[in-house]
Amino acid sequence: MKLPIKLPASPRGGWLAALRSACSGAWRHVLPNHCALCGNLSRGVLCQGCDEAYWNEVTLRCPRCALPRPRQPVLARCQHAGAGTLPSNDMRCPFCVDTQPAFDATATLADYAPPLDQLAADLKFRSRIELGRDFARRLALVAQDLPELPDELIVVPLSASRLSSRGYNQAWEIARPLGRRLHIPAHARAAVRIRDTGQQALLGAAARRANMAGAFALRKRVRGRHVGVVDDVMTSGATLDTLARMLKDAGARRVTNFVALRTPCA
């Protein structure tokens, strides 16, 4: 009896995502490329005007969680913000001083805000895989300012049902090209999600942390290693903190997050 062949959703981007990406690449050789933001003709993912207007921000950020560092009265209105006071030479935000997240550093490109938030949505929900490569290219440049590079990269995993329905993990579409640019290995399945946490968009920061408890399992030895964790968007940091605690419990020496966009206040 001949059994039917079932094509699983590959953790390395998925055969469906690979097909979409190949078709997209083929069309780009036939049709003019259009800017992902304004729609004007462009040689790259973004036209020169949008690139200069939206990617060249100069923002002072907390080195640990990448939260923007505005003046204290403004920061105090953010839900993240704690009551801690900072020494004059401490660049961490009050949230990190108070809560001490398990990760050690976070690299990001810009705030998760219009119009750049549309790029993250297009990567996640519309199979615009080329946006993952563009995020990776930019993150590789940001990584040059880090005190040290990770020994390896892992990704924030999706649940099996979501990976199957989407066909790819958007975090992996950033991590794979980022690893190539940084010349460090990237692993698609080093961490797995063992419990579906559902949508967290409507949950507050404390509820997100409670919801993430026990959501992941580690499938790789990390003792003594500096691990980079890749995701598309960092909101409250609850997911990344949960992963970092798991990595530290397994002996990881250091954990650095690489996120394309960072929600300024959540």
In the predicted structure, residue 27 carries a pLDDT above the cut 70: no
Higher-confidence position of 65 and 86: 65
Of 227, 21, 28, the C-alpha closest to 133 is: 21
Is residue 75 over pLDDT 70? no
3-class secondary-structure state, position 106: strand
Q: Give the predicted TM-score (pTM) of the model.
A: 0.81
β-partners of residue 153 are 186, 228
CA dihedral sign, ordered 75, 81, 82, 85: negative
126-130: average pLDDT: 96
Distinct helix (H) and strand (E) counts, the chain:
10, 7
Residue 39 structure tokens: 């729609």
pLDDT on residue 23: 54
| The pLDDT value given to residue 123 | 98
Most confident of 27-36, 61-70, 182-191: 182-191
Q: What are phi and psi of 130, to 5 degrees?
A: -60, -25
What gap in Å lies between CA 77 and CA 243, rounded to an integer? 27
Q: What's the pLDDT band for 83 if we cut at 50, 70, 90? A: very low
Task: Give all domains of the chain, ordered by start, each with its CATH number.
Answer: 57-262 (3.40.50.2020)
Residue 18 has pLDDT above 60, yes or no: no
The number of residues in the chain equals 266
pLDDT at 30 over 60: no
Helices (H), the chain: 15-30, 48-54, 72-75, 94-99, 117-125, 129-142, 160-166, 170-182, 205-212, 238-249
Mean pLDDT of the chain, nearest integer: 83
What confidence score (pLDDT) does residue 209 get?
72
pLDDT at 213: 74
Q: Which two tokens stand for residue 54?
A: 């939206």
Percent of the chain exceeding pLDDT 90 equals 62
Give residue-wise pLDDT tens across range 133-179.
Answer: 999 999 999 999 999 999 999 999 999 999 999 999 999 999 999 99
Cα–Cα separations (whole angstroms), residue 212 to 25, 135, 175, 198, 240: 37, 26, 22, 10, 10
pLDDT by residue (tens digit) across 161-172? Answer: 999 999 999 999
Residues 83 and 172: beta-carbon distance below 8 Å: no
Local confidence band at 16 (pLDDT 50, 70, 90 cut-offs):
low
Q: Where are the alpha helices (DSSP H) in 6-60?
A: 15-30, 48-54
Res. 73: pLDDT tops 80: no
pLDDT band at 203 (very low <50, low <70, confident <90, very high): low
